[in-house]
């Protein structure tokens, strides 16, 4: 069986503005919408509850079952009860918050192994904001862009993602992006209410397209280019 669809989202998870994309991710898949708000765990219970409530509203609009995987620590992420609850997912969604915390909390755990296996078995996989950043091979630290980052979850290993890009691009000159650029990876900005999406491919290189109200951008050392059509990115879909 082929791996599932991927969506890397600039903002708007669980909100009506992204309903069409979430419906596309769930199309022809089990009606189980698995949600992890792990990236928001450092913000406390109120923030987590807000994500869970918004996720419930999204699931209701879509007519599917909400499955909350309430992982807040690496110890939680090693619990077989949470890992087992991921089985049978139609869509697995990592929402926003702290991308480095999300990657460090899930990396190498039972829950991440279960997420990856469900995706390889055909479930769609999405990350928004912090979730999109964590699915890359490396998560930069914007306060210390030349150092201080962390390894990502590696689904799209040769890329780095900058969500909310249109908001930040208003005050961030192109030269300020230079420390984030690497010769070995593609640096991609994704506007708010916009997703970079891909269907599964027979090989490791997938074609991603921007969907939503905004655009996606390829960032080079001294400029940004709007992505018109497709951008080809390596995806790690090896078992």
Whether residue 2 has pLDDT greater than 90: no
DSSP codes, the chain? -----EEEESS-TTSGGGHHHHHHHHTTS-SEEEEE-GGGGGG-HHHHHHHHHHHHHHHHHHT-EEEE----SHHHHT-HHHHHTTTT-SEEEE-SS-HHHHHHHHTTSHHHHHHHHHHHTT-EEEEETHHHHHTBSEE--TTSTTS--EE---SBTTEEEE-SHHHHHTT--GGGGGGG--TTSEEEEE-TTEEEEE---SSSEEEEEEEESS-EEEE-SS-EEE--S-EEEE-----
pLDDT in tens, 119-163: 999 999 999 999 999 999 989 876 655 566 789 999 999 998 999
Among 64-68, 104-108, 123-127, 186-190, which is the least confidently predicted range?
186-190
pTM of the model: 0.93
Which class would CATH give 6-234? alpha beta
pLDDT per residue as tens digits for the range 59-102 = 999 999 999 999 999 999 999 999 999 999 999 999 999 999 99
The pLDDT assigned to 195 comes to: 98
Domain ranges of the chain: 6-234
Query: Which pLDDT tens digit goes with each residue over 9-35?
Result: 999 999 999 999 999 999 999 999 999
């Amino acid at each position: 069986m082929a791996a599932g669809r991927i969506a890397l989202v600039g903002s708007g998870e669980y909100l009506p503005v992204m309903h069409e994309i979430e419906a596309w991710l769930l199309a022809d898949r089990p009606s189980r919408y698995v949600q992890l708000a792990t990236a928001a765990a450092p913000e406390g219970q109120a923030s987590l509850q807000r994500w869970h409530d918004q996720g419930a509203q999204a699931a209701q609009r879509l007519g599917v079952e909400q499955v909350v995987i309430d992982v807040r620590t690496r110890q939680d992420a090693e619990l077989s009860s949470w890992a087992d609850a991921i089985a049978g997912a139609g869509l697995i969604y990592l929402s926003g918050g702290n991308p480095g915390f999300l990657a460090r909390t899930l990396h190498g755990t039972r829950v991440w192994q279960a997420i990856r296996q469900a995706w390889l078995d055909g479930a769609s996989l999405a990350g928004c904001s912090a979730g999109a950043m964590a699915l890359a091979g490396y998560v930069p630290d914007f306060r210390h862009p030349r150092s201080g980052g962390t390894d990502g979850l590696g689904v799209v290993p040769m890329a780095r993602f900058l969500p909310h890009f249109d908001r930040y691009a208003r005050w961030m000159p192109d030269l300020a992006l230079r420390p984030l650029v690497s010769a070995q990876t593609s640096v991609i900005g994704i506007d708010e209410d916009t997703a970079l999406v891909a269907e599964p491919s027979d090989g490791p290189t997938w074609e991603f397209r921007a969907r939503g109200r905004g655009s996606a951008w390829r960032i080079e050392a001294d400029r940004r280019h709007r992505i018109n059509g497709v951008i080809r990115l390596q995806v790690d879909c090896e078992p």
